[in-house]
């Protein structure tokens, strides 16, 4: 019995030992698996860390490349601007207004730089516009247009004005400057130049919140800010406002009560030297941005506006605001031939803000009279053109149809003038329309001319949009004389009388 028990215990021990050995084998292989897995994990962590540091290196490299690219872009743009200036090209900026479905404004972000069905015009980058042309029965095609600057629908009034600011510095440097908004009806010209409309009062478009203000009130503010930076040579500023309605010129600042509805009708006259002028045009001196904007209020209230199917507050006339700057020349009316030579030198200097000579100098002249000889004169023209439109689309009839046809004819005359200029024709047909006749010196003369091409992004406006973009692209091709500073002329005309009257340096 005892022997049997001992035998059982021995067998149990043996089988236990076999079992234990097999578990030990499993344990060993498990352990080596775990060790291998840990090693693999460590390798992965190291690889991950290596990847992470490589990604950080690439990110840094990318940031460096991006900043170099932006720098290069800025340099390229500066070179392009110098080239444009040297060749006397017209600068064209294009602004795409927000998209409104069913002709109504979308609220908030819906219209901001994202694609909505029916929205066919896009800003690809800040120099390229893309139009997705989808005609029924044809595969969609993309057309691109390049301009000096392109603003998408989200661009604020402040961003648009930032690119205008240098032109005001040029104005105070003695250059004539013209900024003109062109585009289809309802494409945002008045919004860009003046600000948003008020339902009841057209002039209230200037009294909105500051961030909504357009180029004209901002330019008035900037002009007087720049003037205040150098009070010793404060120029005198005179403002005139005219509209061209049905190919007639109306003085919107005329006092005459009988003309209160439209302003006084004016004629153009050609002076002996061939300059075109509007005689007896009202010209008001202003001493602050508020006074300047006050006059614009007065003028805009008289401007002709009618609703069309496209646009409720459609401007039916071209509005031209002219600010004329008169200041004391650094040399006075006793200037001799040699002083005239230094005058030319000063006119060619990089900064117009020239410290006046000491009071004892024989060249010193009083700075406060517009008629005083030896004055430097520069002119700023701000133009809100009436909208180009297809009468079939805008739904106009009767008198409105007549207005539309005058608007379209004057814009066609503008296109003809630009076409003749770009082909360097001997005859430029400025006199085919009051608009081109009045703006002759700004378009073909020595002014720095910026055209702001406003476009609607919707499919239904595509034909007009393509026409406008083609017009803008052609305008960019026009090479005029390089803009010149006005020389301080010994006998300067009275400011404001000659809207188009400026003389180039010889
Ligand atoms: N960028 C913009 N952001 C917000 N609203 C805009 C913008 N552009 C235009 N609008 C609005 O669109 C409407 C039409 O614009 P606007 O009156 O400036 O067009 P227009 O081109 O001057 O038209 P018209 O030639 O018929 O006078 C207005 O209600 C204006 O406030």
**Which residue CA neighbors atom 31 of ligand 1 most closely?**
196
Confidence category of residue 235, pLDDT binned at 50, 70, 90 = confident
Q: What's the 155 CA to ligand 1 centre distance in angstroms?
A: 14
Of 96, 311, 410, the one to substitute when testing ligand 1's pocket (max ligand atoms within 8 A of C-beta) is 311
Average confidence (pLDDT) over 138-144: 87
Q: Which residues share a beta bridge with 121?
A: 131
Burial 197-227 (b: 16+ CB within 10 A, else e): beeeebbbbbebeeebbbbbbbbbbbbbebb
Q: Given this model, what pLDDT does residue 182 score?
A: 96
Whole-angstrom distance, CA of residue 122 vs CA of residue 128: 9
Closest atom of ligand 1 to 155 CA is 1
**Which residue CA neighbors atom 14 of ligand 1 most closely?**
186
The dihedral formed by the CA atoms of 467, 186, 453 and 212, expressed in degrees to the nearest 10: -170
Give the tens place of pLDDT for each residue, 475-491. Answer: 988 877 666 666 555 44
Q: Given this model, what pLDDT does residue 145 score?
A: 96
Lowest mean pLDDT among 31-35, 55-59, 122-126, 490-494: 490-494
Whole-angstrom distance, CA of residue 201 vs CA of residue 204: 5
Higher pLDDT, 157 or 492: 157
Output the six-digit token pair for 126. Answer: 């800040």
Q: What's the 203 CA to ligand 1 centre distance in angstroms?
A: 14
CB 191 near ligand 1, within 6 Å? yes
CB 342 near ligand 1, within 6 Å? no
Single out the residue of 393, 396, 413, 404 nearest to residue 465, CA to CA: 393
Average confidence (pLDDT) over 137-143: 84
* Percent of the chain's residues with pLDDT above 70: 72
Phi-psi category of residue 387: left, alpha or beta, with phi > 0 → left and psi -120 to 50 → alpha? beta
Whole-angstrom distance, CA of residue 446 vs CA of residue 140: 42
Dihedral angle sign, alpha carbons of residues 298, 303, 306, 311: negative
Q: Is the pLDDT of residue 36 over 60?
A: yes
Whole-angstrom distance, CA of residue 150 vs CA of residue 211: 20
Give the tens place of pLDDT for each residue, 310-369. Answer: 666 678 899 999 999 987 655 444 333 433 333 333 333 332 222 233 333 322 222 333
Q: Given this model, what pLDDT does residue 316 score?
A: 83
CB 183 near ligand 1, within 6 Å? yes
Q: Across 1-15, 257-271, 297-311, which has the greatest mean pLDDT? A: 1-15
Confidence category of residue 385, pLDDT binned at 50, 70, 90 = very high
Average confidence (pLDDT) over 292-316: 77
Q: Is the pLDDT of residue 185 over 50?
A: yes
Whole-angstrom distance, CA of residue 500 vs CA of residue 449: 13
Whole-angstrom distance, CA of residue 278 vs CA of residue 389: 28
CB 456 near ligand 1, within 6 Å? no
Average confidence (pLDDT) over 463-481: 88
Whole-angstrom distance, CA of residue 326 vs CA of residue 224: 13
Q: Is the pLDDT of residue 247 over 80?
A: yes
Higher pLDDT, 241 or 298: 241
Lowest mean pLDDT among 68-82, 261-275, 467-481: 261-275
DSSP one-letter string for 304-357 = -EE--SS-TTEE-SEEEEEEEEEEE-SS-TT--HHHHHHHHHHHHSS-S-PPPP
Q: Tell me if residue 223 falls in helix, strand or coil.
A: helix
Higher pLDDT, 25 or 482: 25
Q: Given this model, what pLDDT does residue 291 score?
A: 93
Strands (E), 232-286: 236-245, 248-251, 264-266, 269-270, 276-277, 284-286
Higher pLDDT, 316 or 35: 35
The annotation places the binding site for ATP at 183-190
Whole-angstrom distance, CA of residue 500 vs CA of residue 268: 10
Q: Is the pLDDT of residue 152 over 90?
A: yes
Q: Is the pLDDT of residue 412 over 80?
A: yes
Output the six-digit token pair for 312. Answer: 């409720």
Higher pLDDT, 77 or 469: 469
Q: Given this model, what pLDDT does residue 108 score?
A: 41
Of 188, 208, 406, the one to substitute when testing ligand 1's pocket (max ligand atoms within 8 A of C-beta) is 188
Whole-angstrom distance, CA of residue 348 vs CA of residue 60: 45
Cβ atoms of residues 181 and 193 within 8 Å: yes
Higher pLDDT, 176 or 83: 176
Q: Given this model, what pLDDT does residue 292 score?
A: 94
Average confidence (pLDDT) over 50-60: 93
Q: Given this model, what pLDDT does residue 329 score?
A: 57
Cβ atoms of residues 506 and 341 within 8 Å: no
The one-character DSSP state at 287 is: S
Q: Given this model, what pLDDT does residue 404 score?
A: 86
Output the six-digit token pair for 142. Answer: 């993309």
Cα angle: 52, vertex 55, 59; to 5 degrees: 140
pTM of this prediction exceeds 0.80:
no
Q: Given this model, what pLDDT does residue 223 score?
A: 94
Q: Is the pLDDT of residue 191 over 50?
A: yes
Whole-angstrom distance, CA of residue 388 vs CA of residue 133: 20
- Terminal-residue alpha carbon distance, the chain: 139
Closest atom of ligand 1 to 191 CA is 18
Q: What's the 291 CA to ligand 1 centre distance in angstroms?
A: 25
Closest atom of ligand 1 to 196 CA is 31
Find tokens 């694609």 and name the residue: 115
Task: Please report the domains of the chain, with CATH numbers, ordered by start residue.
Answer: 89-114+150-355+362-477 (3.40.850.10)
Give the tens place of pLDDT for each residue, 198-226. Answer: 655 555 555 567 788 999 999 999 999 99
Using CA atoms, how far residue 487 sits from 283, 320, 352, 484, in Å, is: 22, 24, 11, 9
Q: CB within 8 A of 349, min separation 6: which ones? A: none
Q: Is the pLDDT of residue 289 over 70?
A: yes
CB 313 near ligand 1, within 6 Å? yes
Whole-angstrom distance, CA of residue 281 vs CA of residue 426: 31
Report the DSSP pairing between strands 91-96 and 149-151: parallel
Cβ atoms of residues 354 and 330 within 8 Å: yes
Q: Given this model, what pLDDT does residue 278 score?
A: 86
Output the six-digit token pair for 166. Answer: 């240098």
Mean confidence (pLDDT) of the chain: 78
């Amino acid at each position: 019995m005892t022997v049997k028990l001992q035998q059982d215990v021995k067998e149990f021990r043996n089988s236990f030992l076999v079992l234990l050995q097999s578990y030990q084998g499993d344990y060993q292989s498990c352990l080596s698996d775990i060790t291998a897995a840990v090693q693999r994990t460590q390798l992965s962590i190291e690889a991950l860390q290596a990847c992470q540091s490589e990604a950080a290196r690439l990110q840094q490299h990318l940031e460096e490349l991006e900043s170099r690219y932006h720098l290069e872009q800025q340099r390229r743009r500066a070179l392009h601007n110098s080239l444009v200036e040297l060749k006397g090209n017209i600068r064209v900026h294009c602004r795409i207004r927000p998209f409104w479905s069913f002709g109504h404004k979308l609220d908030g972000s819906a219209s901001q730089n994202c694609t909505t069905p029916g929205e066919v015009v896009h800003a690809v980058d800040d120099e390229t516009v893309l139009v997705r042309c989808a005609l029924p029965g044809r595969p969609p095609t993309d057309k691109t247009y390049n301009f000096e600057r392109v603003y998408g629908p989200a661009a604020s009034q402040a961003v648009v004005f930032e690119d205008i600011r240098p032109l005001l510095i040029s104005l105070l440097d003695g250059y004539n400057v013209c900024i003109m908004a062109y585009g289809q009806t309802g494409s945002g010209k008045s919004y860009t130049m003046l600000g948003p409309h008020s339902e009841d009062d057209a002039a209230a478009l200037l009294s909105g919140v500051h961030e909504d203000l357009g180029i004209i009130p901002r330019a008035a503010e900037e002009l007087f800010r720049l003037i205040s930076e150098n009070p010793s040579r404060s120029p005198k500023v005179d403002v005139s406002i005219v509209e061209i309605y049905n190919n007639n010129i109306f003085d919107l600042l005329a006092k005459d009560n009988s003309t209160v509805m439209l302003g006084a009708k004016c004629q153009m006259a050609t002076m002996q030297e061939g300059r075109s002028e509007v005689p007896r045009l009202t010209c008001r001196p202003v001493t602050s941005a508020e006074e300047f904007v006050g006059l614009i209020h007065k003028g805009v209230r008289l401007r002709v506006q009618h609703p069309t199917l496209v646009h409720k507050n459609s401007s039916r006339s071209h509005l031209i605001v002219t600010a004329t700057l008169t200041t004391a020349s650094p040399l006075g009316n006793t200037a001799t031939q040699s002083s005239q030579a230094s005058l030319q030198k000063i006119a060619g200097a990089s900064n117009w803000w020239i410290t006046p000579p000491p009071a004892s100098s024989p060249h010193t002249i009083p700075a406060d009279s517009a008629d005083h000889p030896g004055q430097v004169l520069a002119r700023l023209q701000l133009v809100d053109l009436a909208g180009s439109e297809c009468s079939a689309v805008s739904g106009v009839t009767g008198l409105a149809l007549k207005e539309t046809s005058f608007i379209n004819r004057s814009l066609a005359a503008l296109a003809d003038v630009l076409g003749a200029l770009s082909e360097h024709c001997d005859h430029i047909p400025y006199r085919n329309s009051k608009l081109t006749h009045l703006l002759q010196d700004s378009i073909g003369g020595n002014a720095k001319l910026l055209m702001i091409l406003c476009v609607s992004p919707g499919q239904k406006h595509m034909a007009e949009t393509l026409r406008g973009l083609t017009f803008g692209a052609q305008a960019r091709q026009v090479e005029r004389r390089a803009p010149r500073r006005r020389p301080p002329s010994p006998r300067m005309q009275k400011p404001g009388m000659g809207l188009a009257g400026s003389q180039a340096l010889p």
